[in-house]
Structures are given as C-alpha cells and as structure tokens.
Structure 1
Amino acid sequence: MDNADYCLIDIGKDENPIDHKNSHKMKFICAGFPKTASKSASAAFEKLGFRVADYIETCEFLTEEWLEYMEGRGSIKKVLDAYERNNFDTNQDFPGNIYWEELWRASGEGKVVLTVRDNEHVWYESWINFFEQNFKGIAVNIATHLAWHGFFGKEIYEMVRVGIHSVRIMFGVDCCFEQKALSNRFRANARIMKQRYLSHIIYVKSVVPEDKLLIWNIKDGWEPLCKFLEVPIPNDPIPRKNTKAGELFEEYSKTEFTQKIKRQTLRNFIKFLFAIVLIVILFQVYRLTA
C-alpha cells in the first residue's frame, strides 16, 4: 500500500444513500490524526456546547455500527443514525477520523476541523511517547488478550477490533497483542507514519473547500475555532487534556461506562472461578469413582 492509499480506500457503494432532507446532520466533522491535541480539542468543543463522540463515547455507543461499516456489513447511514440517536454533534479519534470523508459527504458536506501539530516530527514523537508510556508491562498484554476474547464485554471486544482495523488503515502497521513488539513496529515504520500524517493533511485540504475547513493547532487559541464554528469566545483558557502518562486512563476510569465494564469483568471472573472449581470437583469425583 502506498503512503497515501489509505485515504483513497473504496469500501464499496453505499446501498442505502442518505436522504439529506430527512437525515440528521452532524454540526461538523473532526478529521485530525490522534495525538494532535484531540482530547484537548474535545474538551474545547464540549466547553463550547457541542456533544462529542470521542474514543470512550464511541466505545460505549457506536462500536457495533462502526465495526459493521468497516467490515463491509453496514452502511454509513447506520453509523450516522447511531450518532443521531445518541445526540452527538461531532466525532473524534478512531475510527471517525479515518472515515472523516464518508461522514462529511453523508452528512451534507458541512464544516471540517482538522487538528494538527507543529510538524510531522512533533506529531510522531507525541504518538510514540504516548503509546510507550501508557501501554507497557505484562498486565497490558494480558488485558489485551482478555479483551480480544470478550472477557471485558461486547463493547470492549468490538472496540479492540475497530482499533486493529484503524491502526492498519491509518498507519500501515499490523497490530499484535505484545505491546513491545507493536512499539518496535511503530518505530520501524516512523518514516512512513510521518509521511501518512503529512499526506492526510494534504488530502483533506484537497477535498474540503477552503471556506468549510479549519486547520487548527491548539496553540492558535480560541479565536479561529470560535469564529469558524460561529460561537462566542469563552473567557477561560482552552482545557488541556492527556498531557501526561496515565492521565487519560485515570479520567476514563471515572466514567459510568468504565464502571459498567468493571462490573461485567467481575461477573465474568466469578463465572471463570466457578467453572474452575466445578472442573476440579468433577475431576476429584472421577478419580474417586474410577
């Protein structure tokens, strides 16, 4: 796959084209790569009154529709219906930022916010540092395997599959469940990943009309963003999120969705222990009667 092929992927003609007169239209589309201050951008959008489907919201409400679409089993209309059903105004992070063009065209070709970093080197260092600081140790490897086998519930299992598809499409890197090996793949493909970051920006600029596109570095502050979205400028500074190791997951751990996953995990763990105890008992009975 060439460096820019990912942005030209054709997943087939949608058999259920959207009737724009009667369909929900997202207020704007986010097209930025991960680690372009996307979490701070989401906090900024929320402060401006927009409801954002970032990673955790996507995981909770949208994975089934996205996975069906990414695997060719569903339509973009069904994805947008899920956004509408849950009253989201915009997307953020995987996989919406990969399929930003499909979302944009299907929702009426409105405004697009493309978050960026100072350059491709700053972006790559931010990505690799985030990954290596937050995904390390045997516990992460075990948790990833358990998630892949559905131990944490249907939503997490589906989001792992979405993540595997997303990383492959956006970065050209095949995922694996050993995090050190995956980190090595990211480092070995650093040049290609940087080229994909740059080609993504070029492609977005080539598709979206200038008057509908905001290329926004969070360093630019509120003014260009608020002018573009036609909302008042807040007095407070832009919120800063996900700036240090562990911060994002600590924030996620406080959500109701995460609490639900913990309850589901506890139930599965109890079932697992019960099965082990039952197997041991049956084995002992077999030994005594054999």
Structure 2
Amino acid sequence: MKVIGAGFGRTGTASLKAALELLGYGPCYHMSAVIAQPYRVRQWLDVGEGRSRDWDEIFAGFQSALDWPAAAYWRELAAHYPDAKVILTVRDPERWWDSVSETIFRSALAERRLPLRRRLIRRLVALRAPDFALYPRMARATVMDRVFDGRIDDREHAIEVFERHVAEVRATIAADRLLVFESKEGWGPLCAFLGVPVPEEPFPQVNERPAFTRKRRGRLWRLIVRGR
C-alpha cells in the first residue's frame, strides 16, 4: 500500500482514483470495488462488526485505497502501512453536504423505508447475491453509524463531523506524509507530493453525482440476472 485516502466520500475520490491509476498507483481500492465484487461486502461487514481486520487480505493486489469504507479506518490503515502516504481530499463543507445528502445518504435513508416493490427487489438480490444483500448493514456498521452516529439526516451534525474529521487528520498525520487536496488543484500538488512527473493528459474530473441512482439500480438488476 503506497497511498491511503483519508477523505470522505463525495470529496473527489473518483477523480483521484483515476489520477492515481494514471500515475502508476493502481489498482486503487474504492467503494466501486466493493460494489463490483460483492464478496468484499462481507469482508467489510466483518470489520465493521468487529470480527476481523485483516487489512493485507482486504487490500491484496492494490497499491492505493480511497473513499469509504476504507477512509473510515484511516487511523488504522496509516498505522498498519507506515510507509504509505496519506491524501486527505476536501471540499467546501456545504457543497459536500449537498452532494452526499442527494446520493449516498439518500440511498441509505431509503433503505429504512423501502416500498413494497423495492422490498421484493431486495429479496431477489438476497437470493441471487447473498453477499451484496448485506451491503446496507455493512454501510451502517462501517460508515453511517461508525462515522456519523446514524444521524445522516442531520445536516448540522454531518457538517460538524466532516469538519472535525479534517481537523483530526491534519493534527494526526505528520505534515511530510500528508497532502490536503482538492481535485480542482490538478496535477501540480499531487505529483509534487508523490515525487512523480506531471502527465500530459488533463487531470481526471469524474462527476458521479448525476448518474448515482441510475448506476445503483443497474447494479441491482445485474445482480438479480447474473447473481454476481
């Protein structure tokens, strides 16, 4: 593990993932890997519920890790991989809330009050892909309850958690090991921090917000049809 991302989801982690992979720090572990390979859901559920924390097994084959759920364990990962550099992705707290409340948090809150049609879909997913059916429980254990005390519908609380998190990472990680980064800054600070040349191609700008719900529904139907 060469790079650990300490930034919350919806702080440009998808863009940074693409950038790190272009720079040779891939493959990069991201929530998208958990969704793409449902057995990883059970791994994180074991972490969240205190049964196992075999970081080397979870991140086998990866050179970097960003986004939740990994970012919720930044302290543990920074200690376990002492030679890895740490990148804290940040953005304006208000804009972060607008983004996360319309995507990740909205999806998590919807799980609490599923209409009949979605309950039936969930039952089909549980039959075809039992590991992925544990995703809501895993998300609660590793992020929603662990990081936000379950109060993901409380704007002021969530923003306070976000700001406190940024302060804690800054105070904990040594300055020469930490980069506080916004994707709009582009290649310059990232490449200087990692000690690598600046690529010729533009810095990736991946905006998953408009397609978030569509991609999630598509994934559920693929699981039902293919069972993986």
What TM-score range do you get, normalising by the shorter chain?
A: 0.7 to 0.9
* C-alpha distance in 2 between matches for 1:262 and 1:167: 29
- TM-score normalised by structure 1 residue count: 0.66
- 1:114 and 2:88 aligned: yes
* C-alpha distance in 2 between matches for 1:41 and 1:91: 10
Aligned with 1:204 (options 169, 174, 177):
169
- 1:169 and 2:142 aligned: no
Conserved? CA contact 1:134–1:245, under 8 Å: no
Aligned with 1:63 (options 24, 41, 49):
41
Give 1:229 shift: 1.7
Unaligned ranges ≥5, structure 1:
1-25, 175-184, 266-290
Give 1:140 shift: 9.9
What corresponds to 1:123 in structure 2?
96
What corresponds to 2:50 in structure 1?
72
Letter in 1 for 2:50: G
- 1:224 and 2:198 aligned: no
Give 1:150 shift: 1.8
* C-alpha distance in 2 between matches for 1:221 and 1:126: 21
Conserved? CA contact 2:183–2:205, under 8 Å: no
What corresponds to 2:133 in structure 1?
157
State the SS of the aligned residue for 1:150: helix
Residues 102 and 236 of structure 1: CA distance in aligned 2, closer, same or farther (over 3 Å): same
Conserved? CA contact 1:114–1:216, under 8 Å: yes
Conserved? CA contact 1:146–1:152, under 8 Å: no
State the SS of the aligned residue for 1:237: coil
Conserved? CA contact 2:7–2:89, under 8 Å: yes
State the SS of the aligned residue for 1:241: coil
Residues 151 and 94 of structure 1: CA distance in aligned 2, closer, same or farther (over 3 Å): farther
Aligned with 1:233 (options 187, 190, 198):
198
What corresponds to 1:93 in structure 2?
67
* C-alpha distance in 1 between matches for 2:105 and 2:42: 28
Letter in 1 for 2:77: L
Give 1:249 shift: 4.8
Aligned with 1:41 (options 5, 12, 16):
16
Aligned residues: 221
* C-alpha distance in 2 between matches for 1:232 and 1:258: 42
* C-alpha distance in 2 between matches for 1:258 and 1:227: 43
Answer with 123-132 or 45-54: which moved more: 123-132
Residues 134 and 260 of structure 1: CA distance in aligned 2, closer, same or farther (over 3 Å): closer
Q: What do the CA deviations read for 1:20-44 (whole angstroms, capped 9, x no partner)?
A: xxxxxx1111110111011111111
State the SS of the aligned residue for 2:4: strand
Residues 140 and 240 of structure 1: CA distance in aligned 2, closer, same or farther (over 3 Å): farther
- TM-score normalised by structure 2 residue count: 0.82
**1:7-46, aligned counterparts within 5 Å?**
26-46=1-21
State the SS of the aligned residue for 1:214: strand
- Bigger relative contact order, structure 1 or 2 (CA pairs below 8 A, ≥6 apart): 2
- 1:213 and 2:191 aligned: no
What corresponds to 1:264 in structure 2?
227
Residues 216 and 129 of structure 1: CA distance in aligned 2, closer, same or farther (over 3 Å): same
Aligned-pair identity in percent equals: 25
* C-alpha distance in 2 between matches for 1:250 and 1:123: 20
Answer with 42-51 or 213-222: which moved more: 42-51
Conserved? CA contact 2:93–2:162, under 8 Å: yes
* C-alpha distance in 1 between matches for 2:117 and 2:96: 25
CA RMSD of aligned residues (A): 3.2
State the SS of the aligned residue for 1:114: strand
Unaligned ranges ≥5, structure 2:
none
* C-alpha distance in 1 between matches for 2:188 and 2:138: 34
Conserved? CA contact 1:130–1:245, under 8 Å: no
State the SS of the aligned residue for 2:88: strand
